[in-house]
Amino acid sequence: MIAVARVIPGTTLFFAALLLASPPSPAQASSCDPGEVEAVDAKIAHYRESVCAQKVLQSTAELFESGLRAEARGDSRTLCNAAHSALMKLDFYRSREWRTEHRNIAEKIDASFNEKLARFETTTCPKKLALYRHLATQGNSWGMFRLAQSYLNGTGVPQDDGEALAWLQQAAGQGYIPAAVALGMMHSDGRAFAPDYPVAAKWFGQAAVEGDAEAQYQLGMLQRHGLGLGKNPQQAAAWLRKAATQGHTAAKIALSDLYRLGEVKKPFFGL
């Protein structure tokens, strides 16, 4: 919008026009300092967030360790609060726009989160479910898998095979291999549902091609007995051999049975 100024009587000076500038792009302060002067430029804002992420790496390391020290004293409440807080703070920086421009720090955030998550699993904190649910609703496949396991076993929640199935499917859909194996088991062992071997073979196959030994063993057994797949001793032996070379004991036994019964010919070398 242009506003034309009038000439002020008695003077020779006047404004020819006043240009009203368009509003700037949304400004923002950094997430760790709301009182900071807001940055309009995205690069500056992203840099500030990367600095915040670095601060969080340090603060969460100290916070998490304080929780472990509390656990050593038998204080599970402080442990849970400290661990939950540290993991939530790290998780906040795992899906932010600044990460593209500051990948080195982003990778450190991810590594710290994953390391602390694994350690958290081994602690005595009795309130892990809240964290699983938070991560699951944020799209974290590990959280989905752990929440599914909670429903499957009735740990902290009423046992619910349907809920377990739904969360496992979401996790497996994101390529999380343990979830695919769990789905294969759910559809083959008959405990949660009537066996559906073609579906079981699908999920075991997804995990088997990624090198999961249990999935390779299960897929080999389905093919050996013609369950959900055409009976194929040679292909069964191939999958069992892959699992056996990874040290899977049951696969070694099944492979020996195939050789002993003459279903497949034992190779001169190797398994």
8 Å CB contact between 240 and 213: no
**CA-CA distance, 81 to 68, in Å (whole number)?**
11
Per-residue pLDDT of the chain (271 residues; tens, 9 = 90+): 444 444 444 434 333 333 333 333 344 555 776 655 565 578 888 888 889 999 999 999 999 999 999 999 999 999 999 999 999 899 888 877 788 888 899 999 999 999 999 999 899 898 889 889 988 998 989 899 999 999 999 988 999 999 999 999 999 999 999 999 999 999 999 888 899 999 999 999 999 999 999 999 999 999 999 999 999 999 999 999 999 999 999 999 999 999 998 888 887 666 6
**CA-CA distance, 105 to 51, in Å (whole number)?**
9
Task: Give the sign of the dihedral formed by CA 55, CA 56, CA 61, CA 66.
Answer: positive
CA distances, 249 to each of 168, 210, 268 (Å): 26, 19, 21
Angle between helices 213-225 and 197-208 (to 10 degrees): 140
**CA-CA distance, 72 to 227, in Å (whole number)?**
50
Q: Where do the domains of the chain lie, and which CATH numbers do they carry? A: 39-127 (1.20.58), 175-271 (1.25.40.10)
8 Å CB contact between 262 and 234: no
**CA-CA distance, 200 to 172, in Å (whole number)?**
13
| Total Cβ atoms within 10 A of residue 40 | 11
CA distances, 8 to each of 5, 11, 19, 115 (Å): 9, 6, 19, 71
